[in-house]
Amino acid sequence: MAKKKVEGREPILKLGQMITDRIGVKVTADDPEYWGLAGVVTDEMAEVALKMGVRKPKTLDEMVKLTGMEREYLKDLLQRMGEIGIIEFGWENPRHEKQYILPMFVPGSAEYLNMNMEQIREHPEVAKFFERMTFLPLEKITPMVPPGGAGIGMHVIPVEKAIEAENKSISIEHISHWLDKYDGKYAATPCSCRYSRTVLGEGCADDPEDWCIGVGDMADFMVEVQKGRYITREEVLEIFQKAEDNGFVHQITNIDGEDKIIGICNCNVEICNALRTSQLFNTPNMSRSAYVARVEKENCVACGRCVEYCPAGAVKLGQKLCTKDGPVEYPKHELPDRVKWGPEKWDVDYRDNNRINCYDTGTAPCKTACPAHIAVQGYRRAGSKSRDQIYTSGSYSYTSGTISAEDCDYWCRTGGLKLCVLSGDQRISSNRV
């Protein structure tokens, strides 16, 4: 039996078609561009939005002229459209006059629609719409994106304190640059990714509130539609520090060029739709920073902290050492600018694969074999310099019990099991963790 064709509401179909950035697609009622809007956007709202054009700011006077609607009625309708999330407000003009903007889906209205938990619980299709609009438009173009994203999607900013002062660096790679630029105009908002993924049953344990920081006009917009609250610079820095403590990634949206952003997000790779784009499609250029982390071999003790913190699973313990069976060859990450790219190159299980911290052989065999994955050799080296360094990560305070001496003895390359993690009165033998 042939599948019955679903007839859609004409204004919603037209609006979805106008906003979508999927090339060559004729939007139907079966597409997310339609059903993602149909439950929350009325035909009247769609007709008004169609008059606006995508990302073309309009004042209230201009909207009255375009629609022919009564001024106060239209003003209330536009306010409601902003609260739902189909449009945004801005004041970036010489007179600082309020303007109404129909944004693209991502970044844009797909996110705003998902910043109201009550709304997406009532209309869970909106959460799926957000997921689809971070997938479908990008599945074919991601291999062609150059390093840094070229304004597509989001751009990772490194932890600023990790950038050496003597290194030449561009200002847009510094969080402080953006905080200075939008000084005094910050708003903490809920994370649309954490909200929507929770509704889809794919959430994480994070509190979804206050992870995203709107700046400038976006801060004002979020507060006006009751999706955010103003915060101080000190509160912003506290949020950033909490994000860094959790291994989250700072990202900015700079679709309007390198001198303007709308916000700074603190993203968890487990649920972030922006980071997912580069991870799932296996195309790191989509979200990479302008900086590349490098290992200082003379200081590395293979403790694995960088491996555990890296949200992209880009580094692993166990590389570039030989084993008792001879040298080990490790796979190189293929890149889309060197080979033909397609679905067979994607990493659909990226969330699980990114958790693999150790190769089976190599740099830290004791860490690999240890059930708690404690880098024993790192503690031994740190302990030889300063006993106080041993307890900074707190690993031992959270573990107890015994492990098999045979496992350690089999893997250990330091001459057997007699060596200790520490010396002196703080001794912890390597078969007692």
Could you tell me the pLDDT band of residue 50, with boundaries at 50, 70 and 90?
Answer: very high
Render pLDDT for 68-112 as a digit per residue (tens, 0 to 9): 999 999 999 999 999 999 999 999 999 999 999 999 998 899 999
The residues spanned by each domain of the chain are 1-103, 141-164+172-292, 305-426
Question: For the chain, how many residues are written?
Answer: 433
Q: What is the CATH number of domain 1-103?
A: 1.10.10
Residue 293 pLDDT: 72
* Partner residues linked to 263 by β-bridges: 214
Six token digits for residue 350: 């990226």
For residue 59, give the 3-state DSSP assignment: strand
Residue 321 pLDDT: 55
Name the pTM for this structure: 0.76
Give the whole-angstrom CA distance, residue 351 versus residue 348: 8
Render pLDDT for 122-152 as a digit per residue (tens, 0 to 9): 999 999 999 999 888 877 777 666 655 555 5
Which residue bears the tokens 């306010």? 79
Q: To which H or E segment does residue 263 belong?
A: strand 263-267
**Spatial strand order in the sheet of 88-90:** 58-59, 99-101, 88-90
Nearest partner of 259 among 215, 292, 229, judged by Cα:
215
Residue 304 pLDDT: 73
Render pLDDT for 294-307 as a digit per residue (tens, 0 to 9): 777 777 776 777 77
